[in-house]
Structure 1
Amino acid sequence: MLLRFTVANFASVRDEQELSAIAADRHDDIAVRAVPRTQHHVLPALGIFGPNASGKSNIVDALAFARSAVVNSHQRWRPNDPIPRRPFQLDPVREKEPSEFGIEFVAEGIRYQYGFVCDSVEFHEEWLYGYPEGRQRRLFERKRGTSIRFGQGLQGERKLIERLLRPNSLYLSAAAANGHAQLLPVYDWFAKHLRVAVEGNAHSRLQETRHLLEEHDAQAVLHLLRYADLGVGNVRFSDRKLQPEHAAKLADLLSVIEGEKISPSEISMGVDVEVTHLVGDREFELPMELESSGTQTWLALAGPVINALATGDVLVVDELDARLHHHLASQLVRLFQEPETNPNGAQLVFNSHDHSLLGHDTARLRRDQVWFTEKEDGATRCFPLTDYKVRSVENVEKRYLSGRYGAVPFFDEELLSAIAVEVSC
């Protein structure tokens, strides 16, 4: 479970901002989970709302970057590669300063605090603390220019891994690459249990849907597709293959590039997807590209959603409302909110500018599940609805639209008048 996330000096985020999944109120009717060895509970869903360009997606991007650094920095980033962080660029001083990321989470029943500080060249700091018995225990602390300080509880080849460390790789990433058994559960939380759905990985998410359907006969995926009332009866996938001689040549070339043997059978030029629709007593198959954008979006989300619900993972979705009707978006939130459909305590973190989700009876977002973003002097501020006194959730949408909580766009009527003058000339 994800408990808290903090970020500073990344994209439009200048000063440190926090997103917390710790429940501020008691909720007996949604799928909250107890945080081990604390009095706290964690929420099953968090929604970030705000106008366009307020930084909603940058909060998601920051979390995705932190995940990527853990998973990829040691094995996939080359020694001289720059660290692909994006500092705040509207302040010349801040742009040259490092970025900072912190994540508090629970993996295999143990609460952890992990974080790092980096510029575009190297990691300045990195730390990991565990709370196996409720009290903080240091696993390691790394600071640029000094040896890593290890806690007494961290065993294994600690020093050997430190010698293999590069300035542009994280110790946690290097430890996992070298099979450090004690740190693998922490690494696996990032690699396997923190899922991020953005437009750029729609293809891999579609492949996840395919894998569930073909390898596991996951009827829950088909049920989810049919539940959306998109007219989908079934889905069929097929790989587009090259001619054998062309596949062999391409496999040889890729083997040299990747440094490992690639079989011609692994070469695919893409995937054909056909969606079956039942009209009366007849079936019709349509290629994926002829389906509505809503159907395509739902199909690419179906696999990750079912996997997250089945394994209790954290699913982070950028622009949940993009190409989805707000009723369908609210039903997706409901899957994570309801204890019946979320028995394993999965979490959904999403951003949206669909204000109707705030007042939708299906999503049933509580006040501590609602966060807002807005710009102040060009920098993103992220704040919870609990900063305001709200008697009930029923009128949150109306108050939000009226500007009661901020985080709404400002429309300059003088500019509209100027446009009218220009177009009438």
Structure 2
Amino acid sequence: MILLRFTVRNHKSLRDEVTVDLTRTSLRTLQPRDGNWTAATYRTCGIFGGNATGKSALLDAMVYAFSAIRDSSTSWQASRTMQRAPFRLDPASREKASTYVLEFVLDGRRHEYGFEVDARGVAREWLRDVPSSRWRMRLERDRDDRVLRPSTQVTDRELVLSRALHFPQSPLHDVARRLVDEFDVVLVKDSYREARLSMIADMLASGAIDVDDLQALLRIADIGVTAVRIEEQDLPQAFRAALAQFHRSLRAADSPADAVEVEPDAEDELDSDDQLDDPVLEQVVRRLLFTHAGADEDCPPFSIQDESDGTVAWLAIAVPALETLRRGGLLVVDELDASLHPHLMDLLLGAFEDQTINEHGAQIIFSSHESYVLSPLSTTALDPEQVWFTDKNADGVTELTSLAEFHRHRDANVAKRYLTGRYGGTPRLAPSLLSALVTSET
């Protein structure tokens, strides 16, 4: 998958429609004349802005769109209402539908997939492609006009493409599968990082990645780790049974009011011999252990809790980046600069920009406060069309602007101009308030 554009309206602070465009200005037709989509698109895209200006909201909208394709026909059905996050600062937006549109390329063919959701569920959904020289409609759904082509049995709160993902016989299955399989996201939250590191341990155990890959990534970052291994421990049966009961209780609490209650099978009875089929309950706890340079023979290996935030951040980002570069697809990273040295950011982005490394045309979209990659010191030369700024207006609405929209000299110091507020996206500080707080008497 190659992402061309992403458009969203009415998601969190994104009240008005905004579009992130990864196409080069040379693409003026539905498809490149030479058929080379990689040359017609950018591999990297940076979203810059101050705190609470909407950088994360924009990436969250992307994650929501892909999550809806993956989960709206399965886990989302347990909720009583449609999962959505409209702009909340005015009543009109809370009632309006939210819109998400993905324009992308699969196997050299251009596609556009979009959907609209409101409190009732899916209001519109469509998929079209360009098999030759013009658009062809493959999926059309409109609640108001009662249109659903091709005819598909879906609930009000699930996407047709999500249903197709779980039915290999569907003519839309391959599109759905590719979108889900070729998208990954890295979040800055501690809970996400812990889950990602647990996933890395499972990947090592299954052979999806090997120890040499992990050790090479750590050497690249010059962290001082010389060896990595995994430790495995079985969960006691009684503890797994208790977890099973807890998860069943959660599912029962979230089930729709009209859900049909199903009696458990005999093997599901909660006793010390409980056999768990639920994939979220791992029967083995795995953890990463690290050996550091300079450690003597009696020094025990470090657990991930002993490692620095920088080590944790690098592993949580570098492993999915490596996977994306190896297979192609799209990686979204929120706050790429969190706990990472600017040179590591440069290294990572440079790998996506380098055609000799990025042979499959993988793409990365990231948010950051760090202006280093915009400065002359950076080895990653981003075109103005690859740089976007978020800012909020007086109504609390996020506005998105490309650097290409600003007039500037080609030798201008973009980082300096960004930090001085020439492009917006910088916080409006009030140092006098801080001074007053420090000096105020209680």
Mean CA deviation greater in 240-249 or 227-236: 240-249
| 1:311-322 pair list within 5 angstroms | 311-322=327-338
Q: Match of 2:387?
A: 370
| 1:11-50 pair list within 5 angstroms | 11-24=12-25, 36=35, 41-50=40-49
Name the SS for the 2:4 alignment partner.
Answer: strand
Mean CA deviation greater in 43-52 or 102-111: 102-111
Structure 1, unaligned stretches of length 5 or more?
Answer: 27-32, 151-157
**What displacement does 1:217 show?**
5.0
Q: Match of 1:262?
A: 276
Q: Match of 2:173?
A: 184
- Cα distance change of structure 1 residues 148 and 386 upon mapping to structure 2, 3 Å threshold: same
**What displacement does 1:406 show?**
1.2
Counterpart Cα distance in 1 of 2:38 and 2:218:
38
Matched, 1:398 2:416: yes
Q: Contact 2:241/2:276 (CA < 8 Å) preserved in 1?
A: no
**What displacement does 1:75 show?**
1.6
Q: Match of 1:389?
A: 407
| 1:323-334 pair list within 5 angstroms | 323-334=339-350
Q: Match of 2:192?
A: 201
Counterpart Cα distance in 2 of 1:249 and 1:209:
26
| 1:36-185 pair list within 5 angstroms | 36=35, 41-78=40-77, 81-150=80-149, 158-159=150-151, 162=152, 164-185=153-174
The one-letter code of the counterpart of 1:327 is H
**What displacement does 1:252 show?**
8.3
Counterpart Cα distance in 1 of 2:234 and 2:324:
31
Q: Report the TM-score, using the length of structure 1 for normalisation.
A: 0.87
- Cα distance change of structure 1 residues 393 and 342 upon mapping to structure 2, 3 Å threshold: farther
Counterpart Cα distance in 2 of 1:49 and 1:95:
27
Between the two proteins, what is the percent identity of the paired residues? Answer: 34
- Cα distance change of structure 1 residues 85 and 244 upon mapping to structure 2, 3 Å threshold: closer
| 1:174-323 pair list within 5 angstroms | 174-198=163-187, 199=189, 200-214=191-205, 215-216=207-208, 218=210, 219-244=212-237, 246-247=239-240, 262=276, 267-268=282-283, 270-279=285-294, 285-323=301-339
Matched, 1:337 2:338: no
Root mean square deviation of aligned Cα: 3.0
- Cα distance change of structure 1 residues 39 and 416 upon mapping to structure 2, 3 Å threshold: closer
Q: Match of 2:257?
A: none
Counterpart Cα distance in 2 of 1:87 and 1:255:
30
Matched, 1:361 2:378: yes
Select 2:430's aligned residue among 391, 402, 412.
Answer: 412
Q: Contact 1:22/1:40 (CA < 8 Å) preserved in 2?
A: no
**What displacement does 1:40 show?**
6.9
Deviation track 1:65-98 (CA, whole Å, cap 9, x = no partner) reads 1111111001222265312211111112222211
Counterpart Cα distance in 2 of 1:337 and 1:34:
23
Q: Report the TM-score, using the length of structure 2 for normalisation.
A: 0.83
Counterpart Cα distance in 1 of 2:432 and 2:246:
60
The one-letter code of the counterpart of 2:9 is A
Q: Contact 2:186/2:333 (CA < 8 Å) preserved in 1?
A: yes
Q: Contact 1:319/1:350 (CA < 8 Å) preserved in 2?
A: yes
**What displacement does 1:47 show?**
0.5
Deviation track 1:316-360 (CA, whole Å, cap 9, x = no partner) reads 001111111222122111111111221111111000011122114
**What displacement does 1:298 show?**
1.2
Deviation track 1:23-63 (CA, whole Å, cap 9, x = no partner) reads 2379xxxxxx9994779711110000000000000001001
**What displacement does 1:249 show?**
6.8
**What displacement does 1:149 show?**
4.7
Matched, 1:422 2:422: no
The one-letter code of the counterpart of 1:374 is D
Q: Match of 2:272?
A: none
Q: Match of 1:29?
A: none
The one-letter code of the counterpart of 1:15 is D
Mean CA deviation greater in 390-399 or 206-215: 206-215
- Cα distance change of structure 1 residues 70 and 39 upon mapping to structure 2, 3 Å threshold: closer
Name the SS for the 2:75 alignment partner.
Answer: coil
